Chain A
Amino acid sequence: MATIAIPSLMQKLTDGANQVVVEGKTLREIVNNLEAAHPGFKDRLCDGDRIRPSISVYIDGVMTREGLHQPIGEEANIHFVPAISGGLASHGQDFS
């Protein structure tokens, strides 16, 4: 089971819980199971079949670039974090 840290502005969806435990072997399964347990999550995290450019995903402290394909380990810690943006991007990462 992976532990998901819930950003404060999304904790309405989890009745105030700042972390939840969800099963899933890929990020896609995690997001789908999150959606099943707490409806509304998927739309906040994803734009269609992709993670929103305004969201960065960290698995065990390392940012992933593999999107929903990302394999998830048994005891993974997952963070959904507002992406660092600036410069070119109106959303998403970019820097000087």
Chain B
Amino acid sequence: MAEKKDYKVVGTRPIRHDGVDKVTGRALYGADFQTVGLLHGKVLRSPHAHARIKSIDTSRAEAHPGVRAVVTAKDFPAVEDKIADLGEGAANVKDLQDNVLAGDKALYKGHQVAAVAAIDPHTAEEALELIDVEYEVLPPVIKVLDAMKEDAPLLHEDMHTDEMGEKSEKPSNIAAHFQHKQGDPEKGYAEADVVVEQEYTTETVHQGYIEPHNATALYNPDGQLTIWCSTQGAFAVRGQVSEILQIPVSKVKVVPMEIGGGFGGKINVYIKPIAAMLSMKTGKPVKVLMSRADVFEGTGPTPGSYVRVKMGATNDGRITAAEAYLAFEAGAYPGSPVGAAAFCVFSPYKVENGTVDGYDVVVNKPKTAAYRAPGATNAAFAAETVIDEICEKIGMDPLEFRILNSATEGDIRIDGPPAPRVGFIETVEAAKDHPHYSAPLEGENVGRGVASGYWPNFGMKSSVSINVTGDGTISLVEGSTDIGGTRASIAMQAAEVLGIPAESVTPTVADTDSVGYTDVTGGSRTAFATGYAAYEAAQDVKQQMIERAAKLWEVDPEEVQFADGVFSSVNGKEQEIDFKGLAERLDETGGPVVGRGTADPNQPGPSIGLHVVDVEVDPDTGKIDILRYTATQDAGKAVHPSYVEGQIQGGAVQGIGWALNEEYIYNEKGEMTNASFLDYRIPTCLDLPMIDAVIVEVPNPGHPFGVRGVGETPIIAPPAAIANAVYRATGVRLKELPMSPGRVLKAMGKI
């Protein structure tokens, strides 16, 4: 499977199926949902980063005119301390509950403490001020290295460090430590001509999706709960709500509305269980919407981190040993993406002697969530700038160094198993051949940098069903919420199998009662795995249609061929009918045709990219301007190249924002001080040039069309590429993210 070949639909650029709804304002997102008798909920949040909750008195709020219900953690059903398998991941149910409404302790500013349902949002807001919470304020711990100290304030007095199943004796903020080890690093350093070791820090950053979280819940007296919301995974919401509220999954229906961005941040639930609890108490539908400040302070960002990387190489450019120490802030509960960081830190390269240590550490910040290639950006910022330093020391072109050290299929990964095929050398060659890399760079204070980014991608479970319509089109029902054009890329894969145009597919994203189990839109898995399920469903349709043609022509199905959208008999009668013609004749050949496909593919095929950036640094203000940007990436097979380019461009720009501006700024009390889009500044179009996306196609053997997921990889390289460019422009290496003007001036010794 998956050799390079020409396709009729895959690789073309049709208009997306949901396009007209989205350019006319008619597409309904979660906050747009309306129903009769709606109440509005608002959430009270902890003003303290770390505090014991001594008491909550809701009586004044309950008495406020227009208020219909108030809920606190006391309204949760009792749960045991257990790890629940939620399909796309496992989580401690008590932690899940505690994060939704704080029990004994508030663990970060913005932690949800109580909620109100009232006749309108303003009345609910008024009532929040009437809830009396008595706090005993505790000292917060905000930075990962502080939280790891022996005498650090403990967030969870009963938490012990887990080292692959072995628990520490003393309680600690370090939730887990693990290690990957291959070969003998000491021997490797002895063989090295040059050894570079550097420390890096990154701050907490947010996904910054434009649509705040939202949920409307209706609990019926028969025990049936329905939730309308924007989410990356309707089944993930169902699973979490079911565990948190101890309701069977069969009693929870989640209706995914359109979603206004997620990037990993709309998998965890925050207000969905609250809307459900308020509906249970009132018997009415309850809508809860977050404000932008709620989103920053109360939802999972991606962690701040401390990363130390040491690498040795010979003068002829061969890596002899590498080590990484990664300490990640999990936020208030365990579960940072340090595992992925440890996996990705050296994965583009062949490292025969290496050690990677990962630490998952709780701090008084919101529980981190996934963010586009979670963990990999933090790790690559360190590893890819250390490599740049080595290249400079040995006088080697950084692209040549990458080609020389590229891990190839079968090389042992740092965690043990062999590496799969990925087009690393091909993306580096594409960057080398691009006019950008050889273009002269003119002027002062300018520099060019490169870096690569690797992400393993994920497969996971998807379901698709296809109904053949009498006019020769198909309707395709899928469970993957469409966050960036996947209705099109999934529909196109079914169309390719059936030899019909993309426009002849009507894709629908269904609720949890109407489609088979489907994991989240995340992990760069949707076009790959749900596309795979669509391929399987289309194959099922094709086989059934072959049988219908056989029936029509009174021949054996084995005598019917299907190619280029046309069924033909091979029994000498030379009969032919196209898909549309046959679809018109289903009634006389046995009735409706419904195809089904499921997938749980285990060879997602990693994706890798190499980015080239030119910057100009203002020596007086420290501001970095992006002059030119080129991003290459292995897409396996780009199903809809425009949307693949869009992923690469969008990911690169999120990485640029992370590199240049974005950070949670905390004061000494552990309060975030910049919870708005004015002060947490994401890139605007005025900050950027065009982003040249170069698609490289090295087919993934694990997918029938060779598809690799593309969504996450492009965020990984930008901070390192920009730091390397800034070094060329200024002679200074930046080791802290973001490289905001103040940090740049400080590094240049100007302040």
Binding site for B on A (CB under 8 A): 5, 7-10, 18, 43-45, 47, 52-55, 58, 61-65, 79, 81-96
Chain A nearest CB: distance from B266 CB in Å? Answer: 10
Specify the chain A residue showing the minimal Cβ separation from B330: A90
Q: Does B346 contact A (CB under 8 A)?
A: no
Report B-chain residues with C-beta under 8 Å of the C-beta of A86: 264, 335-340, 368-370, 374-375
B458 touches A88 (CB 8 A): no
Report B-chain residues with C-beta under 8 Å of the C-beta of A89: 86, 89-91, 335
Report A-chain residues with C-beta under 8 Å of the C-beta of B370: 86-88, 94-96
| A-B CB contact pairs (8 Å), 26 listed | A9-B163, A9-B178, A54-B164, A82-B178, A82-B339, A82-B415, A84-B337, A84-B456, A86-B370, A87-B268, A87-B300, A87-B374, A88-B268, A89-B86, A89-B91, A90-B90, A90-B92, A91-B83, A91-B91, A92-B89, A92-B90, A94-B522, A95-B374, A95-B523, A96-B207, A96-B374
B339 touches A65 (CB 8 A): no
B337 touches A53 (CB 8 A): no
Classify the interface of chain B: helix, strand, loop or mixed.
Answer: loop
Chain B nearest CB: distance from A11 CB in Å? Answer: 9
The distance in angstroms between the C-alpha atoms of A81 and B358, with both chains bound, is 13
Report B-chain residues with C-beta under 8 Å of the C-beta of A62: 602-603
A96 touches B522 (CB 8 A): yes
Specify the chain B residue showing the minimal Cβ separation from A8: B181
Given A61-B417, A96-B711, 8 extra CB contacts under 8 A: A7-B164, A61-B418, A87-B337, A90-B83, A91-B92, A91-B335, A92-B89, A95-B337
The distance in angstroms between the C-alpha atoms of A96 and B181, with both chains bound, is 26
Specify the chain B residue showing the minimal Cβ separation from A87: B370
Report A-chain residues with C-beta under 8 Å of the C-beta of B369: 86-88
Chain B nearest CB: distance from A93 CB in Å? Answer: 6
Report A-chain residues with C-beta under 8 Å of the C-beta of B91: 88-92
Report B-chain residues with C-beta under 8 Å of the C-beta of A65: 600, 602
Report A-chain residues with C-beta under 8 Å of the C-beta of B240: 88
Which one, A54, A55, A94, contacts B88 given CB within 8 A? A94
Are A81 and B337 CB-contacts (below 8 A) given A8-B180, A8-B181, A86-B374?
A: no
A84 touches B340 (CB 8 A): yes
Chain B nearest CB: distance from A66 CB in Å? Answer: 10
B176 touches A87 (CB 8 A): no
Which one, A8, A43, A45, contacts B179 given CB within 8 A? A8
Q: Does B634 contact A (CB under 8 A)?
A: no
The distance in angstroms between the C-alpha atoms of A71 and B85, with both chains bound, is 22
Interface residues on B, range: 35 or more
The distance in angstroms between the C-alpha atoms of A8 and B603, with both chains bound, is 26
B572-589, CB under 8 A of A: which get 1 and which 0? 000000000000000000
Chain B nearest CB: distance from A48 CB in Å? Answer: 11
The distance in angstroms between the C-alpha atoms of A79 and B416, with both chains bound, is 7
The distance in angstroms between the C-alpha atoms of A45 and B166, with both chains bound, is 10
Q: Does B712 contact A (CB under 8 A)?
A: yes
Report A-chain residues with C-beta under 8 Å of the C-beta of B524: 95
A96 touches B263 (CB 8 A): yes
Interface residues of B in 340-372 (CB under 8 A from A): 340, 342-343, 355, 358, 368-372
Are A95 and B166 CB-contacts (below 8 A) given A9-B178, A61-B418?
A: no
Chain A nearest CB: distance from B440 CB in Å? Answer: 38
Are A45 and B165 CB-contacts (below 8 A) given A86-B336, A94-B89, A95-B264?
A: yes
Chain A nearest CB: distance from B83 CB in Å? Answer: 6
A52 touches B522 (CB 8 A): no
The distance in angstroms between the C-alpha atoms of A81 and B240, with both chains bound, is 26
The distance in angstroms between the C-alpha atoms of A43 and B165, with both chains bound, is 7
Q: Which of A5, A87, A93 has the most CB of B within 10 A?
A: A87
Q: Does B334 contact A (CB under 8 A)?
A: yes
Specify the chain A residue showing the minimal Cβ separation from B91: A90
